[in-house]
Structures are given as C-alpha cells and as structure tokens.
C-alpha cells in the first residue's frame, strides 16, 4: 500500500489534489495487485476505459480549436499521435508514474513499472480519476500540460497508430466493415502475449501480436496496411 507521503508527493507532481483519495488509489492499482492473495480490491481497468474517452475528447477539442485550418484527416492523425500508447508512456514518465503503481509481485519482478502498456493504461486511469473528482476543467488542465503549445504538424514521423488510417480507408466504401478478433492469448497473467486478427468483411487481412490487446490490434492493422500497399516503411 502507498503511504500518505507518496500519495501527496504524486499529487504535487501532477498539480492536482484529490478530494477522494480512493479514486487516486484505484487509478494506481493494477489488476495484478488487486487479484493477488486475498486483496480482491478495485483495479484501474474501469477507470482506464473512461479515461480513454475523456482523453480523446480533450485532445480533439484542443486540436480543433488550435489548428483551425487543418483538414479532418490531418487532425485525426495528429490526435492519434497524442493518444497512442507511445505518447502516453512518455507523458507518464515525465512525473514518474511507474514508481507509484501498486503491482502484483509477478508484475513487479517482470519490469511492470516500466512497461509502456501498463503506464499508458495507468495514465488514462489517473485522468479518469481526476475527471470524476474535479470535473472536465481539471482533467483538461492535466492533459494539456503534456501537449506543447505548438505542434510541428508538418513533421514526418513514423506512424504509431495504424487502426485510424485503416478505418478511414475502409470507410470510403460504406458496405465494408472491419473487425478485430482476439484469436489467442498465451503466458502467465503478468506476461501474456495476445494475438489478434483484423477482418475485412469476414476475410482476414492482417494478424498481429502484442503484450496488450491494444498493441496486438495495432500490429494487425499495420500488417493490413502493408498488404494493401498503403504503408511500406518498417
């Protein structure tokens, strides 16, 4: 369990003081810790679900109001670069989020405090906790603190979100639909490998693996884009 001093330290770093400390503790509790022994407490997965949506709205609104001349496609790609696992991992590292997480012993031993998927999920959970505790304005202030005032929108960077451009391509034909299907998961709880297939109208067009379902879906979409000739760089 985290000490009061550690919780206060984290709140000073993020510039927000919780009225409900239980929300903060839940945001920091990984499922491996909650399920360990006889704890069976709340973990941060539900908060992560909410935080993902709150983050998307805040970033989309910010980009829409800041870059008034950018077309929808460029705004979509810019948003994707700011809400992807890689970006959230960087944001979380800025205030050392990993050192405050409650992890199970197995996850701790396997480097969970530095695992991008865990840190990205915890960042989203923390955002949701701030949103529930202090409202939209508090959540927005927290998120925008990690986004530079001016982004280099013309800079060519390696694509890190493949699901969004794949969806945009498919949507050009209203009769086509894509679906991500989890076909396999292997390994212990603290070190699982997920395998996902992406289907276009029931036909497999990509297959990917990852340490999280989200990453496996991204890798499957990446393969689909390469097979379709839209993305050639590795």
Residues labelled catalytic:
52, 124
| N- to C-terminal Cα separation, the chain | 42
The CA distance from 100 to 219, in Å, is: 29
Q: Which of 134, 146, 91, 110 is nearest to 30 (CA)?
A: 110
Q: What is the C-alpha to C-alpha distance for residues 113 and 131, in angstroms, rounded to an integer? A: 24
Q: Would you say how long the chain is, in residues? A: 234
Separation between Cα atoms, residue 177 and residue 171, nearest integer Å: 8
Residue 44 corresponds to which tokens in the numbers above?
């941060």
């Amino acid at each position: 369990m985290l000490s009061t001093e550690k919780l206060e330290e984290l709140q000073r770093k993020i510039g927000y003081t919780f009225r409900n400390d239980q929300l903060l503790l839940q945001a920091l509790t990984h499922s491996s810790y909650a399920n360990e022994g006889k704890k069976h407490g709340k973990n941060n997965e539900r908060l992560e679900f909410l935080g993902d949506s709150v983050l998307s709205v805040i970033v989309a609104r910010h980009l829409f109001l800041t870059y008034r001349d950018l077309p929808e496609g460029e705004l979509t790609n810019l948003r994707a670069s700011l809400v992807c696992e890689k970006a959230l991992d960087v944001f979380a590292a800025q205030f050392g989020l990993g050192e405050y997480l409650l992890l199970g012993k197995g996850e701790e031993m396997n480097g969970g405090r530095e695992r991008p998927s865990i840190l990205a999920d915890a960042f989203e959970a923390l955002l949701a906790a701030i949103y529930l505790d202090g409202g939209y304005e508090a959540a927005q202030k927290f998120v925008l603190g990690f986004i530079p005032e001016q982004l280099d929108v013309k800079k060519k960077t390696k694509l890190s979100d493949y699901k969004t451009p794949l969806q945009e391509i498919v949507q050009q034909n209203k009769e086509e639909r894509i679906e991500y299907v989890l076909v396999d998961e292997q390994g212990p709880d603290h070190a699982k490998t997920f395998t996902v297939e992406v289907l276009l109208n029931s036909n497999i067009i990509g297959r990917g693996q990852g340490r999280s379902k989200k990453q496996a879906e991204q890798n499957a979409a990446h393969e689909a884009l390469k097979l379709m000739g839209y993305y050639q760089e590795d």
